[in-house]
Amino acid sequence: MITLIALFIIAFLSGVFFWYRRRQATRPAAKPLPAHLPVSQDLPVKYGKDEIVLMVKDPYWLYAYWELSDTKKDELKRRFGLTAWEKSLPKLRIYDLTNHPYDFLQAPFFEIAITDMADNWYIHTGKPCSTFCVDLGRWFPEYGFVTIARSNIVTTPADKPSSVIDPLWPPLEACWQAVERYGKGRGLSSPELVKK
């Protein structure tokens, strides 16, 4: 009896082994990965545009990125002298337009000194529910701040839950108050509460 069980186990295992070997032989070979994947050239490093883009990171922070072309630098050199770029300092001027929409002359602002190597910057405003715009410019000792590019206008979100309640999504507190007001002790069901 033991011999019969042993022969059965050996036959079963050899059958599984031969089935596995035949399956491996009929499976197509996997293609090897290329040694060097080509680098995609779809996106250019620069677009040749003089612009600054402002985005909201959270209620307290903004993020700006920009690009300046060599043409713009040459224009500043023609306008302010050949050494204008080297003698001036790059700065970001952040306007708080919350109480002065589109009035850049009356709006309060602050400046951040940046480096010539920078092409993006995180800006701490610390003011939720406020509207901002950023100028990228250079500070010249003789002329003051000269704007090179102006960003879009953004508004930071609130740093607390909204006080506006959507009637289709009332807070749980309001639902329980309705149940207490209309259904307590009366044995009303949900459809009957909705009618009330």
Residue 96: pLDDT band with limits 50, 70, 90: very high
Chain CA centroid to CA 111, Å: 24
Flag whether 52 is in a domain.
no
Flag whether 95 is in a domain.
yes
Q: Which one is predicted more confidently, 12 or 162?
A: 12
Residue 187: pLDDT band with limits 50, 70, 90: low
Residue with tokens 């985005």: 55
Flag whether 101 is in a domain.
yes
29-69 pLDDT, tens digit per residue, is 677 767 776 766 777 778 888 899 999 999 999 999 999 99
Flag whether 148 is in a domain.
yes
Q: Which one is predicted more confidently, 192 or 124?
A: 124
Q: What percent of the chain has pLDDT over 90?
A: 41
Residues 132-136: what's their mean pLDDT? 97
Nearest CA-CA partner of 155 in 129, 174, 175, 179 = 129
Flag whether 183 is in a domain.
no
Flag whether 131 is in a domain.
yes
Flag whether 118 is in a domain.
yes
Instruction: State the pLDDT at residue 10.
Output: 87
Domain that holds residue 122: 70-155
In three-state form (DSSP H/G/I as H, E/B as E, the rest C), the secondary structure along the chain is CHHHHHHHHHHHHHHHHHHHHHHHHHCCCCCCCCCCCCCCCCCCCCCCCCEEEEEEEECCEEEEEEECCHHHHHHHHHHHCCCHHHHCEEEEEEEECCCCCCCCCCCCEEEEECCCCCCEEEEECCCCCCEEEEEEEEEECCCEEEEEEECCCEECCCCCCCCCCCCCCCCHHHHHHHHHHHCCCCCCCHHHHHHC
- Looking at the 3D structure of the chain, how many domains does it have? 1
Flag whether 151 is in a domain.
yes
* CATH at 142: 2.60.40
